[in-house]
């Protein structure tokens, strides 16, 4: 109960970001002008279309919900006109022969792809510094309106830092990113924008270059939750090309479950009621996220956010997820193991950059060519993660590390299922077990900080790589469980750097998550 009282009673002020940051909608022309004006010192785009070539990229349907929206695509999501480099020397000039399903869906909805954004190589990083293009820079630098890149000292976050910063800098209206352990939500929090990771399988991963296939998700970054929702709805469709994408049958099952909650849906549909907009919704505050690394600014934003939700009608209650502290090591063990397997294909033989070094002797075999190609083509952080992943999959270490991490993952999933009122649609008989008349004891959403602090200075990851791993402590549980999560900008610290609050809901409950997030953003 101590946490509950602290969460909703604090009156400490949290500085707000400019309202203009949420209301200005970029057009293709203004987006390209912003790229031309600022990309040289912010380094957010790896490639982009020319301003004099807009017409060639605007062949879109007249009635699409995203008609004329400029969108940016992370460099690990396939497009057929610009390189899908993953910010790696191994794929530096690689142009995909096909479009990803997500990009196809955006194009059908009327969006215009203005460019591919900078990122950590193959999505492996938390600060957007492990890139062949150099570090991306955070445009939210306090009291800076300079064209000197040295004035922009803070990281935009990784690995989708280029996408988040491009939205913050007005270089696009919506950007796509990928989220394996927080790679959308952390940059969103540090750049002061909205970052949404949907339920695993909502958006097809066809065309996403895999890092850790059981954890990866394509998600959306924008200035407002409403823009995120519009883009998400355009992309959230079944896709037979991705075996992990939700089927139509599962989507129907999820809709039946979500609409059966009388404690939420009946109140919202009753036009005669004068209830607050979020009346009937119960939000949990998990005390395990009150970690030692949590800064005072992040703690204040958490208290303020809980207070805002209470004023909007939510019931705020304490909850416990005992195995959250174990999720970070489990996540990295699983992610590294899967990356070791997924990145084995980048050998320079079928596609990508191949080493030009010749074997020193005639006896040298092809394995030396492979080794040279991978040593030259993959950066130090990628090599580190591949080596660690290969080790944890060896016969001597698999039982101790990989198998144990899978067990922890299952426990984390079970603990999330236990605290949510809505049953998990993936579980047997979940549709039949829903209580239609009386409200279950669980919560509808959870609230906690997106990051432990504001954006760090560039260069910190090189000084201590392990510290950059720890920065994901607040975000990786949602990936382990496959549940939707969103980071909403809630203001800034005393120095003016943005902060984000994270909301998560049950698997498949993406619509409720976006509804709560929209109200939270409008009141922060």
Intra-chain end-to-end CA distance of the chain, in Å: 25
Question: Is 268 among the residues known to form the active site?
Answer: no
Q: Which residues contact 187 (CB under 8 A, 6 or more apart)?
A: 128, 156, 157, 158, 160, 161, 163, 164, 165, 177, 195, 221
Q: What is the pLDDT of residue 363?
A: 53
Let me know if residue 116 belongs to a domain: yes
Q: What is the pLDDT of residue 11?
A: 44
Which one of the listed residues 96, 126, 131, 159 is annotated catalytic? 159
Q: What is the pLDDT of residue 263?
A: 83
pLDDT in tens, 117-165: 999 999 999 999 999 999 999 999 887 777 777 889 999 999 999 999 9
| Separation of alpha carbons 374 and 368, rounded Å | 10
Q: What is the pLDDT of residue 441?
A: 87
Tell me which residue of 145, 128, 130 sits closest to 378, measured CA to CA.
130
Let me know if residue 227 belongs to a domain: yes
CA distances (Å), origin 449, targets 161, 212, 233, 476, 490: 18, 24, 26, 13, 10
Q: What is the pLDDT of residue 112?
A: 95
223: which 2 tokens?
Answer: 């200035």
Q: What is the residue-level pLDDT of the chain in tens, covering all 524 positions?
A: 334 434 444 445 555 444 344 445 789 999 999 999 999 999 999 999 987 766 655 655 567 999 999 999 999 999 999 999 999 999 999 999 999 999 999 999 999 999 999 999 999 999 999 999 999 999 998 877 777 778 899 999 999 999 999 999 999 999 999 999 999 999 999 999 999 999 999 999 999 999 999 999 999 999 999 999 999 999 999 999 999 999 999 999 999 999 888 888 766 555 445 679 999 999 999 999 999 999 999 999 999 999 999 999 999 999 999 999 999 999 999 999 999 999 999 988 888 888 877 655 555 566 787 888 899 999 999 999 999 999 999 999 999 999 999 999 999 999 999 999 999 999 987 665 555 556 778 999 999 999 999 999 998 766 666 777 787 999 999 999 999 999 999 989 989 999 999 999 999 999 999 999 999 999 87
Q: Helix, strand or coil for residue 503?
A: strand
Which one of the listed residues 74, 197, 308, 369 is annotated catalytic? 74
Let me know if residue 138 belongs to a domain: yes
Residue span of the structural domain in which 243 resides? 15-252+448-522
CATH number of 488's domain: 3.90.1300.10
| Separation of alpha carbons 133 and 135, rounded Å | 7
Let me know if residue 340 belongs to a domain: no
Provide the domain count of the chain. 1
Strand order from edge to edge, sheet including 112-117: 45-48, 112-117, 70-74, 174-178, 218-222, 194-197, 485-492, 498-504, 445-449, 282-286, 315-319
Question: Is 183 among the residues known to form the active site?
Answer: yes
430: which 2 tokens?
Answer: 């979940």
**Mean pLDDT of the chain, nearest integer:** 89
Let me know if residue 260 belongs to a domain: no
- Other CB atoms within 10 Å distance of the CB of residue 78: 22
Which one of the listed residues 85, 163, 183, 327 is annotated catalytic? 183
Q: What is the pLDDT of residue 59?
A: 57
According to DSSP, the residues that pair with 212 across neighbouring strands are none
Q: Output the DSSP codes for 255-294.
A: HHHHHT-IIIIIHHH-TT----TTTT-EEEEEGGG--TT-
Global confidence as pTM: 0.92
**Cβ-contact 282, 497 below 8 angstroms:** no
Let me know if residue 267 belongs to a domain: no
Let me know if residue 362 belongs to a domain: no
pLDDT in tens, 301-332: 999 999 999 999 999 999 999 999 999 999 99
Let me know if residue 505 belongs to a domain: yes
| Separation of alpha carbons 205 and 77, rounded Å | 9
Question: Is 9 among the residues known to form the active site?
Answer: no
- For 355-404, list the strands marked E by DSSP: none
Residue written as token pair 């695509």: 73
């Amino acid at each position: 109960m101590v946490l509950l009282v602290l969460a909703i009673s604090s009156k400490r002020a949290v500085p707000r970001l400019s309202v203009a940051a949420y209301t200005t909608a970029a057009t293709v022309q203004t987006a390209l002008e912003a790229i031309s004006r600022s990309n040289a010192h912010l380094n957010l785009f790896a490639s982009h279309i020319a301003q004099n070539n807009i017409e060639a990229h605007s062949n879109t349907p007249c009635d699409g919900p995203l008609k004329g929206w400029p969108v940016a695509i992370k460099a690990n999501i396939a497009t057929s006109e610009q390189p899908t480099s993953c910010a790696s020397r191994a794929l530096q000039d690689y142009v995909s022969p096909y479009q990803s399903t997500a990009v196809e869906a955006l194009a059908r909805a009327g969006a215009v792809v203005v460019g591919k954004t900078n990122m950590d190589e193959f999505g492996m990083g938390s600060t957007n510094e492990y890139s062949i293009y150099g570090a991306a820079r955070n445009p939210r630098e306090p009291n800076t309106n300079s064209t000197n890149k040295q004035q922009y000292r803070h990281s935009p976050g990784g690995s989708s830092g280029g996408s988040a910063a491009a939205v913050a800098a007005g270089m696009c209206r919506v950007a796509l990113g990928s989220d394996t352990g927080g790679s959308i939500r952390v940059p969103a929090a540090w750049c002061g924008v909205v970052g949404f990771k949907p339920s695993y399988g909502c958006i097809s991963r066809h065309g996403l270059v895999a890092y850790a296939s059981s954890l990866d998700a394509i998600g959306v970054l924008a200035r407002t939750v409403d823009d995120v929702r519009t883009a998400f709805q355009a992309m959230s469709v079944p896709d037979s090309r991705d075996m992990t994408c939700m089927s139509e049958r599962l989507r129907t099952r999820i809709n039946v479950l979500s609409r059966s909650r009388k404690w939420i849906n009946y109140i919202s549909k009753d036009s005669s009621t004068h209830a607050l907009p979020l009346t009937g919704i119960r939000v949990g505050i998990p005390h395990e996220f009150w970690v030692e690394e949590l800064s005072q600014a992040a703690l204040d934003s958490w208290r303020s956010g809980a207070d805002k939700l209470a004023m909007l009608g939510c019931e705020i209650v304490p909850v416990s997820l005992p195995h959250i502290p174990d999720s970070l090591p489990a996540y990295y063990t699983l992610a590294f193991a899967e990356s070791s397997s997924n990145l084995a294909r980048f050998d320079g033989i079928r596609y990508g950059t191949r080493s030009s070094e010749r074997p020193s002797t005639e006896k040298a075999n092809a394995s030396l060519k492979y080794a040279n190609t991978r040593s030259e083509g993959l950066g130090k952080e990628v090599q580190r993660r591949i080596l660690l992943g290969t080790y944890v999959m060896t016969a001597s270490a698999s039982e101790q590390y990989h198998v144990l991490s899978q067990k922890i993952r299952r426990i984390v999933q079970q603990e999330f299922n236990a605290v949510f009122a809505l049953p998990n649609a993936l579980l047997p008989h979940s549709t039949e077990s829903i209580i239609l008349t009386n409200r279950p004891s669980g919560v509808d959403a959870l609230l906690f900080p997106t990051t432990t602090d504001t954006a760090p200075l560039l260069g910190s990851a090189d000084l201590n790589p392990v510290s950059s791993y720890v920065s994901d402590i607040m975000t990786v549980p949602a990936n382990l469980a496959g549940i939707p999560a969103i980071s909403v900008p809630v203001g800034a610290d005393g120095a003016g750097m943005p902060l984000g609050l994270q909301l998560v809901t049950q698997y498949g409950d993406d619509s409720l998550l976006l509804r709560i997030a929209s109200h939270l953003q409008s009141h922060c």
